[in-house]
Amino acid sequence: MLIQRIVTAVILAPLAVLIVLLPPNPAFALIAALAFLAAGWEWTRLAGLQSPAPRGALLAVQALLFALLWYLRSQALWSLLLVAGAAWWVLACVWLRHFAYGAAPTAENRNLKLLAGAFVIVPAWVALVQVHDEIRPHAHAWTLLALLVVWAADIGAYFSGRRFGRRKLAPRISPGKTWAGAWGALVAGTLVLLAGGWMLDARGLQLLGLAVLAPVMVAASIVGDLLESLMKRHAQVKDSGALFPGHGGLLDRLDSVFAALPVFALGKLLLGL
């Protein structure tokens, strides 16, 4: 499984880098919207919506919302969505603590999870597009750095968890995750953000701010991973899909990214970067 995961990552990583660095912001926003809609399709199934017709209708509504947000884009509106997105992940921590909440396959719980999916995906798209906007210095490089932090945290968690993992982080939600893995993710993600911030001209208080932002961002990425694990446990499935061999579905690859992006974009905005 490890070899399969590595091969898939080696193929996907250069493609992701090119998509971040090459297209102008409008084209990038469209590509990101398509990817996020595909992840949203998987989320609707985890939420308990099985029929393709209503799932497609919900995605159409989300696509229209993306288009409307692009048309109405303003610093005030998008900053408000970033705050809402970051606040959502604080609320998600409460849900993880009461992990049985929403587990029953009722219409009310299905609708709750569908609403949660909007808070997961929409602010993340806003954050990604805003960071990527060329009106900001090194915009494409900062976007890539945000993804690199999440990827580094994931790698750090995997190897530190395998080597030192004993105490489980959330055994009732995701038995494979350990506290050692969480600390490995924290160290790896922080080092990457600080190194990348330095290369992108962050100095002094801004670099110190990134040192504070990094653990918050990594913690959010862990919460995002755990929330998707909770959804899969409620739905009684192993993966959100089978798009990527060894990695599961698109949502399995983006769960941590969805949570980290609003935190990163909001922190970057507050730091004036």
Single out the residue of 1, 53, 35, 8 nearest to residue 238, CA to CA. Answer: 1
The rounded distance, in Å, linking the Cα atoms of 128 and 150 is 13
Whether the Cβ atoms of residue 233 and residue 240 lie closer than 8 Å to each other = no
The encoded tokens of residue 205 equal: 């208080």
According to the model, what pLDDT value does residue 1 have?
Answer: 60
The rounded distance, in Å, linking the Cα atoms of 51 and 59 is 13
According to the model, what pLDDT value does residue 247 have?
Answer: 61
The encoded tokens of residue 92 equal: 């998600």
According to the model, what pLDDT value does residue 10 have?
Answer: 77
Per-residue pLDDT of the chain (273 residues; tens, 9 = 90+): 667 667 777 778 889 999 999 999 999 999 999 999 999 999 999 999 989 999 999 999 999 999 999 998 888 999 999 999 999 999 999 999 998 999 898 999 999 999 999 999 999 999 999 999 988 889 999 999 999 999 999 999 988 988 898 899 998 898 889 999 999 999 999 999 999 999 999 999 999 999 999 999 999 999 999 999 999 999 988 888 766 665 678 898 899 999 999 999 999 999 998
Maximal C-alpha separation, the chain = 54
CB atoms within 10 A of CB 92: 20
H/E segment holding residue 210 = helix 205-235
